[in-house]
Amino acid sequence: MAIPGNLLSVTTESVDPNTSGWVKKLNCTISLGSGGRNGAGTLIVKSVAAGEMQARTVSSYPIAAGETYHAFADASGATVPERIGIRWLTAANTEISVTWSLTTAAASATWHRISVGGVAPPDAARAQVLLSSTPAAAAVISFFENVYLGLPQHIMGNLLPWNAESPEIDTTSWTGIGSVTIARTVPVVQWPVDYYPTGGHVVSMTATAAGDQAMRTARVPCTEGQEYLAFCYLNPPTSAADTWVEVRFYDAADTQLQATRGELAAPGTGWYRQRASAVAPAGAVTCALAVGIDSASLGQVLRVEQAVIGTDLEFRPDSVVRYSDASFEQGVSGWSVTSGVATAPRSTPWGAVAYEGSYSLIVSSATATTSVIRSPRWSLGGDVSGLSHRIEVYTNVTAGSWNSILRVRWYDAGSSFISSTASSPTAVPTPNWWWLQNDFTPPTGAARAEIELELTATAVSSAVAIDRVALWQVLPFFLVTAQPGTGSVTITLRELEPGELLSLWRVGSDGIRTLVRGPDGLVDRIPITSDLMVFEDYEAPLGVPVSYAAECYDASDNALESFRQSDTVTVDPGDPNLAWLKDPGLPQRNLRLLVERAPDWTRPIEQTGHRIRGRRNTVTISDVRGGLEGELAVWTRDDAERTALHWLLDSGNTLLWQAAPGMGVDDMYVSVGEATEARITTYAPEGWRAWSLPLTQTDMPTAVGVGGSAGRTWQDILSENTTWQDVLDRFATWEDVLFNRPIGG
C-alpha cells in the first residue's frame, strides 16, 4: 500500500517488483531481496569493501527551499547498523549538502525504523534519499524497504509541533526538569510497517543524579474548561521504574496551575503508550506534556517517542463522561464501591486487559454476592429532561460469572438527587469483550448524572473488566440532510465501531447503488476511525429522492457486521434555468450558472469504409460509438461569477454537470475543452459574459478523493508554522493552506 504523501513512486517505496528506483552510490552493489513487509521485495545493499556504502534513489524529487521534509525507511541488518539521509540538490542536480540521521544504536536483523528530518537549504530545488551503513568487510548486507520522502507525517490534531512529537531534527522542543541531560538516540524499534508518524529518533532523558527527574515539551495554547488528552510512548529503564506522563496547565504568567498524571505500570522494558487527560482549569492559557521517573537512579534513561496533546478523546465525542473516567488510563478516578465486598482497582500491568487504551477497571468479588460500583457525577450540559440518553459499558468476564443491572442516578443543576432509572437484570455475556447498553429518559429537572453498576457475582472469585464507559443523548444512527445551497447531501453516521470497515452507497429510486465519495476516494471498505463520521455527497442528483446504505465489515475477514438504510432525501434544484458545474475532488470550486443554451449533442465514431471490387455496398468496420460531445453556453453575471468559473476550470479536472429534472439532460461527468469567454456588449463596465464550454462525456472519476479540511484545523496550521509570514512563505494560495499543499510539497 502506497504511503500517503510520498514523493517516491510505489516501486521505489516498496522495492516491488524490482529495484528500478534505486542505484548504487558508494562501495556497494544492489539487488532485489525478499521478505519485505510493504510488499515482498526488499533492497539488498552489499558492500564491495570495508568502509561506508551508500545507495540512493535514481530520481531526484522537487522540493521547496526552507520547507521541512521527512525521510524514513525500515531497515534490517544483523552485522552493521544503518542511517538515512536527505541529499539536497540544486535545480541542476548538483549536491548542496546531506542531512543525515544518527546511526542506529545497534545492528539488528529485525525490521526497524530509521528516519531523518531537515529543512531544505536556500538553494535547494530537488532531493534524493540516501541509505547508508559502514561495514568492516566486503560482502556485508543491509536490507531496506518501506521508504518515504515528503512532508512530516504529523498526527492530525496534535497541538505540539512535529519536532516535539518526534525529534527528527533536534531536541529543542524539550526542557529538562531536575538533574537530567536530554539527547536524541536511535534505538532498534520495530514499529508496524504502516504506522508512519513514528520515526527512528527518540528523546532520551538521562538522570545525572538520583531522585525525581522529568522533562516537558514546549507549552502550547489551551482553553479553560476544555478536556485535553496527552500521550506518548515511554521506554522505561526497568519494569520497576516509576515512570509517568502528565498533562500540565499554566496561566498567563507561566505559573503551573495543575498537573494530572498517568502512571505507567510497565510489564517490561518495551515501548508502551501511556495516557493522561484533564480539563484545563480556570486561568489556564497554555499546556504541556511532561514525562519523568520518580526516585530515579543515577544514569537511568527514559526514552520517549510520539508526544501528543489534543482534544480528540478517541471515542464517543458526544459522551458526557470524561475520558479519564471512561477509560481508566490514569487510575480509577472517581469510581468507588458503594456497597458489597468487591474491589475495583485499575488493571495491571499495561496491556493486561483493555478494550480502549491499555487499562480497564477490574471488579473482583471473593464471594457470590452483590456489589454496587458508582461513577463520578457529570454535567449533562443543562436541563435534558425528556431527552432520551444511552448508557454503554464494555465488559469482559475474566473469572467466574456475573449478572448486572445498569442504573443512572439523576441530579438537578444544584446536585440534589432526583431519582434513578435502571435496566432489567441480565447476565454479562462471555467470553471476550461485550458491551452492555440501555436507553433512559431523564426526569424533569435532570442536569447531572452518575452511572451505577449493580454487579452480582454468581460464583466465588469472580472478576469482570470494565472499560469505555459512555453516556450520551441519543441522536439518529443514520441522518441525511439536503443542502440546496451547495447542491449536496450531508450524511451523518453515529455509533460506528472503530476498527471496522465502512462502505457507503447512494441508492437511486431505481435501486441502483453508487459509492459515495470520501476524502480518500470512493467510500469502499475504508477504516472506521471514530464512532461518528460525516460525509458530504456533492454528486447527489437534484430534484429526485435518493437514500443511502451503509455496510460495516470486520477488518480481519471482511465479514459483513451490520447494515443501515437511511430515509429518502431530495435536494431542491431551485431555479431550472440554473445548472451546476461541480468538481468532484474540489467541491469548494463548485458553481451554479445561468444556462443560455444546452448542447446539441454529437456522438463520434471511428469508422473505416472498404469498397470491395464487384460489390455494390461498402463494407464498414466500426469501433463502438463514443459518448456525447457538445457545446454548453452559459452566462456569468458579474465579476465574482466570472472569477469563480475561471477557478473551476483552471484545474482541468473532470467535472459533473447537473441540471434540474425535466430539462432533458441527465447528470453527466464531462471534460471541458477550450473555453471561450465573450463580452455581450462593447460597454466596458458590463459584468455579464457569454461562455462557450465544449463538453465531452467521460466516466466518473473513481480514485479522486474529496479535498478539503478533512479534519485540518487552524490549530494544525499553528502547530506547523511559527508566524503568519511562515504561512505566506510556504503556501501560494489560501486554497493550498486548506489542502495542506505547501510550495514544493
Instruction: Return the HEC string of 344-360.
Output: CCECCCCCCCCCCCCCC
pLDDT of 280 > 90? The answer is: yes
pLDDT of 444 > 50? The answer is: yes
Summarize the confidence of residues 44-50 as an average pLDDT. Answer: 97
* CATH architecture designation of domain 162-310: Sandwich (2.60)
Measure the CA–CA gap between 374 and 396, rounded to whole angstroms. 18
- Record the cell numbers describing residue 516, joined without a space: 459515495
pLDDT of residue 84: 98
Pick from 357, 538, 338: which is nearest to 346 by CA? 357
Summarize the confidence of residues 682-686 as an average pLDDT. Answer: 91
CA distances from 208 to 175, 301, 487, 674 (A): 15, 10, 64, 71
pLDDT of 737 > 80? The answer is: no
pLDDT of 741 > 80? The answer is: no
Confidence tier at 709 by pLDDT (50, 70, 90): very low
Q: What is the pLDDT of residues 541-571, one digit of tens each?
A: 999 999 999 999 999 889 999 999 999 999 9
Residue 59 in contact with residue 149, Cβ under 8 Å? no
pLDDT of 736 > 80? The answer is: no
Measure the CA–CA gap between 279 and 163, rounded to whole angstroms. 25
Q: Which amino acid is at 32?
A: L
Average per-residue pLDDT for the chain = 93
Measure the CA–CA gap between 729 and 122, rounded to whole angstroms. 13
CA distances from 636 to 591, 594, 679, 682, 695 (A): 10, 7, 10, 16, 18
pLDDT of 193 > 50? The answer is: yes
CA distances from 289 to 169, 170, 182, 705 (A): 19, 17, 15, 35
- Record the cell numbers describing residue 729, joined without a space: 512563505
Confidence tier at 532 by pLDDT (50, 70, 90): confident
**Three-class SS of residue 299?**
coil
Measure the CA–CA gap between 489 and 512, rounded to whole angstroms. 18
pLDDT of residue 519: 85
Sequence-separated (6 or more) residues with CB below 8 Å from residue 732: 743
Residue ranges, comma separated, of all CATH 2.40.30.200 domains in the chain are 578-698
pLDDT of residue 316: 74
Cis ω for the linkage preceding 349 (within 30 of 0): yes
Q: What is the pLDDT of residues 290-341, one digit of tens each?
A: 999 999 999 999 999 999 999 876 677 789 999 999 999 999 988 999 999 9
CB neighbours (10 Å) of residue 271?
A: 20
Alpha helices in 311-403 (DSSP H): 323-327
Summarize the confidence of residues 648-670 as an average pLDDT. Answer: 93
Residue ranges, comma separated, of all CATH 2.60.120.260 domains in the chain are 10-150, 323-473
pTM value is 0.76
Q: Determine the topology of domain 478-565 in CATH.
A: Immunoglobulin-like (2.60.40)
pLDDT of 59 > 50? The answer is: yes
What's the CATH number for 10-150? 2.60.120.260
By the 10 Å C-beta count (0-12 exposed, 13-18 middle, 19+ buried), 251 is classed as middle
128 phi, psi to nearest 5 deg: -130, 160
CB neighbours (10 Å) of residue 107?
A: 19
* Residues pairing with 62 in the sheet: 126
What's the first-to-final CA gap in the chain, in angstroms?
A: 20
What's the CATH number for 323-473? 2.60.120.260
pLDDT of 440 > 70? The answer is: yes
Which residue did the predictor score with more confidence, 313 or 182? 182
Confidence tier at 477 by pLDDT (50, 70, 90): confident
pLDDT of residue 98: 98
Measure the CA–CA gap between 250 and 260, rounded to whole angstroms. 12
Residue ranges, comma separated, of all CATH 2.60.40.10 domains in the chain are 478-565
pLDDT of residue 43: 98
Which residue did the predictor score with more confidence, 669 or 722? 669
CATH 2.170.150.70 fits 578-698, yes or no: no
Residue ranges, comma separated, of all CATH 2.60.120.200 domains in the chain are 162-310
Which residue did the predictor score with more confidence, 499 or 146? 146
- Record the cell numbers describing residue 587, joined without a space: 467541491
pLDDT of 745 > 60? The answer is: no
